[in-house]
Amino acid sequence: MANILCFHLFLFVLFTFLSQTPTEAYNKGFSFKLIHKNSPNSPFYKSNNFHKNKLRSFYQVPKKSFVQKSPYTRVTSNNGDYLMKLTLGSPPVDIYGLVDTGSDLVWAQCTPCGGCYRQKSPMFEPLRSKTYSPIPCESEQCSFFGYSCSPQKMCAYSYSYADSSVTKGVLAREAITFSSTDGDPVVVGDIIFGCGHSNSGTFNENDMGIIGMGGGPLSLVSQIGTLYGSKRFSQCLVPFHTDAHTSGTINFGEESDVSGEGVVTTPLASEEGQTSYLVTLEGISVGDTFVRFNSSETLSKGNIMIDSGTPATYIPQEFYERLVEELKVQSSLLPIEDDPDLGTQLCYRSETNLEGPILTAHFEGADVQLLPIQTFIPPKDGVFCFAMAGSTDGDYIFGNFAQSNILMGFDLDRKTISFKPTDCTNQ
């Protein structure tokens, strides 16, 4: 949810969560499609005739069931982030929320919304939905949120992010409808989400909320996994500066297994139920030259977070400086030093992305190769800049630029993350 090279940190949850009792089991995994905002399949795509691709509406009341189909939802890229489409309520309303493995809450801007940021698409209107069910503040569930009551005696929430973004509203249960390959809807019922009536922060007009995909109990992954019986998913993100007509995927359940030749796996250092996906980065090689994460002999476990909601990768300042010096040594191009728009970033003039050097991220037990398309981004025509930055506050992030073209499997039960080099444009 941040712009390029803006820092996106751990969110702070202002309440705890009572897990719901599963009422039925899922029989098959399912997947989400991720597409670029300029794709003809994107709702923000404009052709000469200006059209929007819409799925047909289903006005019957959704049932709390999950049939054996192959459901999917479309996702667009937007300012360095991915927007995943969720269809809420009955009749269904399309919501495009930021896909964020660094947070938990699933929320959308809802009417009435007097204190909200500008949103281009219509907001969700809870009173129009037959399946919208607010959680009363007298309920047992709300007691785990600090007995917070709205003036309407509903369970109020306040969810804050470290970049000062905030969403406030009421918690409710709602049905989420996905599309499927045979054209029929697939409905997941009783998903707890935040109906945000006062939201502010670093959002743009295409952002309709945030889809929390973290490891905490409120996340979409955990809620679906509680019903499914297995908390795991995989993602394959398309690089942002490739053909806009291509798409990647997010898979759940059986289809999320990452296996086969080339797969490497690193353990999660996160605690059970913790939001952040923390792993241990030992260092990064530039070509054959290994650059250690820190200069001391001690390496902290769980020193970096895997975050799909942050574009750039943030590492310790001293580590970043050593890495940049090695990049300069191995690059055949001269860095740009006369463009004030680029600040202190390491940038090169080139009409196409750089041919090298190749970087390798050395996670505990997993060496992940990063090609220039994953480590250099074009902020403007004819310029490519290193998509990493130094940080001094002790919180470090492996961002979504570096995650692209890698099939990544997040297994919350086994506490592992797997990596497999993949052309995500062909998924």
Among all residues, which ones are annotated catalytic?
100, 307
Number of residues written out for the chain:
427
Asked if the peptide bond before residue 122 counts as cis, ω within 30 degrees of 0, the response is no
Q: Judge contact between 383 and 349, C-beta under 8 A.
A: yes
Q: What are phi and psi of 188, to 5 degrees?
A: -115, 120
Two tokens, residue 17: 């969560």
Instruction: Output the CA torsion 333→338→340→342 (10° steps).
Output: 0
Two tokens, residue 392: 């001094």
Instruction: Output the CA torsion 271→272→276→278 (10° steps).
Output: 40
Q: Judge contact between 113 and 197, C-beta under 8 A.
A: yes
Residue 24 exposure: Cα atoms within 13 Å on the Cβ side: 13
Phi-psi region of 162 (alpha: psi -120 to 50; beta: other; left: phi over 0): alpha
Q: Name which of 76, 120, 118, 119 is nearest 99 in CA terms.
A: 76
Q: Where are the beta strands (DSSP E) in 124-165?
A: 133-134, 156-160
CA distance 247 to 74: 9
Classify strands 166-180 and 133-134 as parallel, antiparallel or unpaired: antiparallel
CA distance 409 to 29: 14
* Residue 401 Cα distances to 82, 147, 225, angstroms: 11, 40, 27
DSSP notation for 42-72 = STT---TT-----PPP--SPPPS---SS-EE
Q: Name which of 199, 206, 241, 208 is nearest 86 in CA terms.
A: 208
101: Cβ contacts below 8 Å, ≥ 6 apart: 213, 214, 277, 306, 307, 308, 309, 410
